[in-house]
Amino acid sequence: KRFDQLVGQEHVVRALSNALASGRLHHAYLFTGTRGVGKTTLARILAKCLNCIPGVTPEPCGECAACREIDSGRFVDLIEIDAASNTGIDNMREVIDNAQYAPTAGRYKVYIIDEVHMLSKNAFNAMLKTLEEPPSHVIFILATTDPQKVPVTVLSRCLQFNLKQMPPGHVAGHLKNVLEAENVPFEAGALSLLARAAAGSMRDALSLTDQAIAYGSGQVKEDDTRAMLGVIDQAYLMPVLEALAEGDGPRLMREAGELAARGFSFDAALQDLAGLLHQVALALSIPEAVSEDAPERERLFELAGRLDPERVQVLYQIATLGRRDLEWAPDEYAGFSMTLLRMLAFAPSDSAPKARATPPTARPESRPEPRPVPAPTRPAAPPPPWDQAANESMLSSLSPGPSPGGGGEQSDWRALAESLPGATRQLAMQCERLEHSGNTLRLRLPENQKTLLDNFGDKLKVALAEKLGAGLKVEFELAAAISQSPAAARAREQAARQSEAEAAIQADPFVQTLVRECDAVVANIRATG
């Protein structure tokens, strides 16, 4: 009923309040935005500000006859028109004819035209003349969800305000205030689910809350709300990502079967899986952006320590594309399981199962001579030497030994870091070993990893004490940049392997023949599983 009670549209409220306070009124306003963000509500409050009996004000009294009648929908000088059902020129002519008459009870005659983009071209043309030379006592307030369909000639004569979608935090906070005022018991997790399901619309959020109250017999519980919305608990999706991180195909199919047995929607499963991957990507790149109250937060960071950022991006794309293609699958379960198998198939070579990473014993030692493509009945050709070299380099890098640019101590520290679980491994991989003297281990890590240190530094100390003996004291130092951490060593090794592979490809006689005789270009060289 007042501007200060409107949620999430502070930028519009401030502009209108300043204009009303200074008396700088416009003859036509256009409110745009998605459904349920407060366009019509804002228009009614503005009408109340204009017609409040004490005077034009950004804070209507709410007690005078005009304010009470506007609140109850009985104010004769406030005319609301639904353009979706009054689209023709005859309806607009009636509005224009009535606009010439002075207000009956108020200071201004206010016309609120909702969904104005639904008006016909002729109706817009008829309204244009009135917008160009409006009577001093008439104010038009137009509202639309699709301003692209409003003619430019109309847009240019209106003061336009774009209402924002409500952030989930604003929606959940408002729902909390409403439920507390109504003395309805609720759980905070349920409000978060309702806020996300509303997709930025406060009206939808309130409607869903009414449904949740009815579904929960007067209470808003998280489990009931999740069942009503068809939202899948992250606890059921985490094992799916863990199976993908481990490259465990049988477990992956078992988890898919568990989701099917519980009757979950596979479309919702892929949607929530994509949302979970988004959280994992945040945990990898910007840990502080992950909300403190995020569900399964600790497990989320542990999972982030087992996935590379590049792979998370690929998994996210596969999940979104799999959801798009779900309707074309033979059935929903087949489409869902095929999406999971595609995620498994696109695993990089360094995260593939160990059995697949072991080179076959039949692999030749020397480079084979270039030969034509084998016939279909011929056994599969062995991998090319550059792929063999890359795999052998990858396997050898897992064994203790001096790393490029570092000594044996750094190599031992890398082996120890890689043996740690979850997020402690991620933190240890970013640390450079400085000194291990007696019971004191000094580590140094980049300043941009401070958030990771704050979240998991204590856990790393415990994990290292279990490995190196009780009573170990671990000290951390921050530096602008470091070069001897296991993560930096791994990056150098990957770059070296890539350079070797590129050199091997460029030197291959068959490739050189293709480049020379067919004007071929080597566009991309990458390792495969």
The structural domains of the chain, with segments of one domain joined by +, span 3-162, 168-229, 249-351, 384-529
- Three-state secondary structure string covering 94-136: HHHHHHCCCCCCCCCEEEEEECHHHCCHHHHHHHHHHHHCCCC
* Angle (nearest 5°) at CA 126 between 123 and 129: 145
Q: What is the pLDDT of residue 349?
A: 55
Residues 466, 214: Cα–Cα separation, whole Å: 52
The domain at 384-529 falls in which architecture? 2-Layer Sandwich (3.30)
Strand-strand pairing, 138-144 and 109-114: parallel
Residues 299, 449: Cα–Cα separation, whole Å: 19
DSSP 8-class letter at 276: H
Which structure tokens are listed for 277? 């991957």
Q: What is the CATH number of domain 168-229?
A: 1.10.8.60
CB 346 within 8 A of CB 339: no
User: Which stretches of 217-288 are DSSP H helices?
Assistant: 222-229, 234-246, 249-261, 266-285
Which structure tokens are listed for 405? 């640019």
Q: Which residues pair with 142 in a beta bridge?
A: 30, 113
CB 234 within 8 A of CB 241: no
Does CATH number 3.40.50.300 belong to domain 3-162? yes
Q: What is the pLDDT of residue 293?
A: 67
Long-range contacts of 433-441 (CB under 8 A, 24+ apart): 433/409, 433/484, 434/477, 436/409, 439/469, 439/471, 439/472, 439/473, 440/472, 440/473, 440/474, 440/475, 441/468, 441/472, 441/473, 441/474, 441/475
Per-residue pLDDT of the chain (529 residues; tens, 9 = 90+): 777 777 777 888 888 888 888 888 888 888 888 888 888 888 888 888 888 888 888 888 878 888 888 888 888 888 888 877 776 777 778 877 787 888 888 888 888 888 888 888 888 887 887 887 888 888 888 888 888 888 888 888 888 888 888 788 888 888 888 888 888 888 888 888 888 888 778 888 888 888 888 888 888 888 888 888 877 777 788 888 888 888 888 998 998 888 888 888 888 889 889 988 998 888 888 887 777 767 777 788 888 888 888 888 999 999 999 988 888 888 888 999 999 999 988 876 554 443 333 333 444 444 444 444 444 444 444 444 434 443 343 333 333 333 333 456 677 888 888 888 777 888 888 898 888 888 888 888 888 888 888 888 888 888 888 888 877 888 888 888 888 888 888 888 888 888 888 888 888 888 888 888 887 888 777 765 4
Whole-model pTM above 0.75? no
DSSP 8-class letter at 186: B
CB 464 within 8 A of CB 458: no
Does CATH number 1.20.272.10 belong to domain 249-351? yes
Long-range contacts of 464-467 (CB under 8 A, 24+ apart): 464/416, 464/428, 467/416, 467/419, 467/420
